[in-house]
Amino acid sequence: MRTIAWAGLSALLSILAAIVAPASAEDGYDLWLRYRPIEAAAAADYRMVATQLAPGGASPPIAAATAELRRGLTGLLGTTPEVSETAGAGALIYGTPAGSPQIAALDLDLGDLGREGYMIRSLRIDDRPVTVIAANSDVGVLYGAFALLRLVQTRQPIDRLDLRARPKLALRVLNHWDDLDRHVERGYAGQSIWDWHRLPDYRPELYTDYARANASIGVNGVVLNNVNANALSLTAPYVAKAAALAEVFRPYGIRVYLSARFSAPVEIGGLTTADPLDPDVQAWWRAKADEIYAAIPDFGGFLVKANSEGQPGPQDYHRTHAEGANLLADAVAPHGGVVMWRAFVYSDQAPDDRAKQAYTDFVPLDGRFRPNVAVQVKNGPIDFQPREPFHPIFGAMPATPLMMEVQITKEYLGFSTHLAYLGPLYEEVLQSDTMRPGAGATVARVIDGSADGHALSGMAGVANIGADRNWSGSHFDQANWYVFGRMAWDPEAARARPIAEEWVRMTFSNDDRFVEPVVDMMMGSREAVVDYMTPLGLHHLMATGHHYGPAPWVSDLARPEWNPTYYHQADADGIGFDRTAAGSDAVAQYAPQVGDRFSDLDAVPEPLLLWFHHLPWDYRMRSGKTLWEELVLTYDRGVSAVGEMRRTWAGLQPYVDPQRFDDVTVFLAIQDKEARWWRDASLAYFASRSGRSLPEGTTEPEHPLTYYQGLSYPFAPGN
């Protein structure tokens, strides 16, 4: 009886606690915009600088900036700054010269800030200390407000500021692979946050919070629907729903885009063809664009997946990707829209190495796209693997604006249960030098347009956001959303480590005893996944369809390049995909210095070894070990790294709220279990191919190979 009574009482208490203090629940909803009170001593100093808010005007972005500053400063400093038009000592004055006489009077040099940049300066006006956030647009001011809050959140001094920042990319875009039935392709955070059925009328606060989060990291575009598009999303009812979202996002500087199905003129337009050169088809797309722009005046444009994995496209009519892209580009051009045309293509007929096909299709079209087309290229030539070399297209289409597409969602890196911080993956690609003629053409400088003088530039991230309360399915996956935005702001200068640190401070704690170990853990986490899933350049070893778990043995799928055996080619003699001149010659798609380096066994980076080479099991690695021994060791290293992550996290309990501590603890345990599964299943299989036993002293797989081959997960998410 007593136990039951106590259980009842504690349940009641927790319900009461939830009602009394819902805002302080640490369920992850607040993301990096938590604004929890800072230490009393520091708060006093900050308060001197932010006692009063003096907004320049009342436009929606300025109102959003005011609301955010009030919310943030109140939370952080414990007092609500008053809003006043006249600025006293400690005032925060923000606006544009056009919207704020106070800013205009300062005669600041904003020339190099562009439309979205901002400056933050500590100044004295009439001998009173003030802080000024100035920009050329109200959205620039909003970005400045978030930047100022970030300084306080990460405990930077704000009394002598002289900061200038501007985004280096024009388009910083999330791609939602969300279907109209709320399923999210490769989504591991629940259903789609777009409640299509209840839109356009129902616009929960969630959508505003989504926009706030994106604006805080500089994301300025959102593709609402899956690249495997349903033509219905272009019909009037769905355009009205998209328009409702656009209205919510507009104050935050975010434009909406739609994925367009190339065959829409046939499917919803009543035409008999979608041929890009057909005048009726052209007229249909022009009318469709006019209709969309009437509902959404700042509509961003279209994203298109064409002639890829069964999607319709211009090649169905023997036209090129350029002709297809230009069709849509001409339709949106009068309205200032763009087309993001994906280069993720591989044919079901071409027998050539899949890694080569996008280049083969697209590079001959360089210079043939309209100026408002950006070709959107995945970071690597296969498909968002834990590690890939940079995509060769980045070094080969100087006359075409190229966007880079990365996955934020972790289709191939353990879904949302494995802790894998993707900052190092993004940085590795962005900093890769394409070695194109003309020095310094890193991928970052190709996509920011500076290598070739393109004004249209951008980066897209496949979103990891769903209806889960913590947005991303796990607390640490929020960091991947965050780092995407921060890197897209300035891909050349951005670095994974400081961004991780910033995120940890904002999301969890500023206590260095917490920050340092967590940042270290995050920085090593992606490499751990590479090690226990696809070490030494192996790739595409996961199970069919849902891609959950290891299945390097699969060899019976209809298309050769769907089979893991196609990628690793392991047999009794050796392992790896020969992409040198003796093999598929994919190396020839890179600039000669890069291709030579990848071809040369003494120069190729070992983490990419088996991507480019097929080698005997006894091949001597730089460590002196054989390839087989090194492979086993690397799998083991991945598994131990996860054990280390668990130990690190367990020691950090004093610095984390119980809810998030427990959530992360449980997921790390899942990761540990699955890392062992990857290691054991892969080694059991490769041992069977190589005919070798594991080196002495290593642990045998827990089960025989047939056990792993028998596992099946028909309902794994995201498929």
The strand pair at 458-462 and 171-175 is best described as parallel
Contact between 411 and 717 (Cβ < 8 Å): no
Spatial distance between the Cα atoms of 381 and 356, rounded to a whole number of angstroms: 7
Of the pair 295, 716, the CB lying nearest ligand GCU is at 716
Which H or E run contains 683? helix 658-690
> In this structure, which amino acid lies at residue 416?
S
The end-to-end CA distance of the chain, in Å, is: 48
Instruction: Compute φ and ψ for 378, nearest 5 degrees.
Output: -65, 155
CB of 679 to ligand GCU, least distance (A): 23
Q: How many other CB atoms sit within 10 Å of the CB of residue 469?
A: 10
Beta strands 458-462 and 118-125 are: unpaired
Contacting ligand GCU within 153-212 (CB under 6 A): 185-186
Please report how close the Cβ of residue 152 comes to ligand GCU at its closest, in angstroms: 39
Q: Cα separation of 338 and 332, whole Å? A: 7
Interface mask (CB under 6 A) for ligand GCU, residues 395-424, using x and -?
----------------x-------------
Residue 42: alpha-carbon gap to chain centroid: 34
Site map (CB under 6 A) of ligand GCU, residues 597-636, x = contact: ----------------------------------------
Nearer to ligand GCU, 116 or 411 (CB): 411
Judging by DSSP bridges, how do beta strands 373-378 and 338-342 pair with one another?
A: parallel
Pick one of 30, 275, 361, 383: the residue that binds ligand GCU (CB under 6 A): 383
Q: Is 382 among the residues that bind ligand GCU (CB under 6 A)?
A: no
Q: Which of the following is catalytic: 68, 178, 179, 411?
A: 411
Of residues 55-114, those binding ligand GCU (CB under 6 A):
none
Q: Which is nearer to ligand GCU, 187 or 638 (CB)?
A: 187
Q: Of the two residues 376 and 434, which places its CB atom closer to ligand GCU in the complex? A: 376
Residues 224-243 that bind ligand GCU (CB under 6 A): 227-228
Token pair of 34, please? 């938590």
Q: How far is the CB of 490 from ligand GCU (least distance, A)?
A: 25
Residue in 26, 30, 116, 383 annotated catalytic:
383
Establish whether 383 is a catalytic residue: yes
List the alpha helices (DSSP H) in 539-650: 564-568, 592-599, 609-612, 627-650
Kindly give the pairing relationship between strand 615-616 and strand 574-575: antiparallel
Least distance in angstroms from the C-beta of 413 to ligand GCU: 13
Helices (H), 400-546: 423-430, 443-447, 478-489, 496-507, 512-533
Q: To the nearest whole angstrom, how small is the minimum distance from the Cβ of residue 405 to ligand GCU?
A: 8
CB-wise, 199 or 345, nearer to ligand GCU?
Answer: 345
The least distance separating ligand GCU from the CB of residue 412, rounded to whole angstroms, comes to 8
Compare residues 64 and 184 and give the one whose CB is closer to ligand GCU: 184
Q: Applying CB under 6 A, does 49 fall inside the site for ligand GCU?
A: no
SS3 content of the chain, % helix, strand, coil (to 5): 45, 10, 45
Number of residues lying near ligand GCU (CB under 6 A): 8
Q: Does 305 bind ligand GCU (CB under 6 A)?
A: yes
The 336-365 contact track toward ligand GCU, x by CB under 6 A, reads --------x---------------------
Which x/- pattern, by CB under 6 A, does the window 676-705 give for ligand GCU? ------------------------------
Q: Which of 31, 523, 157 is nearest to 515 (CA)?
A: 523
C-beta of 102 vs 416, nearer to ligand GCU: 416
- Rounded Cα distance, 288 and 468, in Å: 34
To ligand GCU, the closest distance from the beta carbon of 27 in angstroms equals 29
One of 85, 309, 516, 700 is an active-site residue; which one?
A: 309
Query: If you ran DSSP here, which 8-state letter would residue 615 be given?
Result: E
Cβ-based nearer residue to ligand GCU, 382 or 500: 382
CA distance 418 to 410: 9
Angle at 407 between CA 404 and CA 413, to 5 degrees: 140
Minimum Å distance from CB 429 to ligand GCU?
16
- C-alpha–C-alpha distance, residues 532 and 673, integer Å: 11
Nearer to ligand GCU, 228 or 235 (CB): 228
Residue type, 272: T
* AA letter at 352: D
Task: Work out how close the CB of 227 gets to ligand GCU at its nearest, in angstroms, rounded to a whole number.
Answer: 5
Q: Are 570 and 563 in contact (CB under 8 A)?
A: no
Least spacing, CB of residue 486 vs ligand GCU, in Å: 23
Count the neighbouring beta carbons within 10 Å of the beta carbon of residue 217: 23
Long-range contact pairs involving 108-111 (C-beta distance under 8 Å, separation at least 24):
108/132, 108/134, 110/134, 110/135, 110/136
The phi, psi pair for 442, rounded to 5°, reads -70, 165
Of 32 and 548, nearer to ligand GCU (C-beta) is 548
* Phi, psi (degrees; rounded to nearest 5) at 138: -65, -30
What residues make contact with ligand GCU under the rule CB under 6 A? 185-186, 227-228, 305, 344, 383, 411
Which residues carry out catalysis? Answer: 309, 383, 411
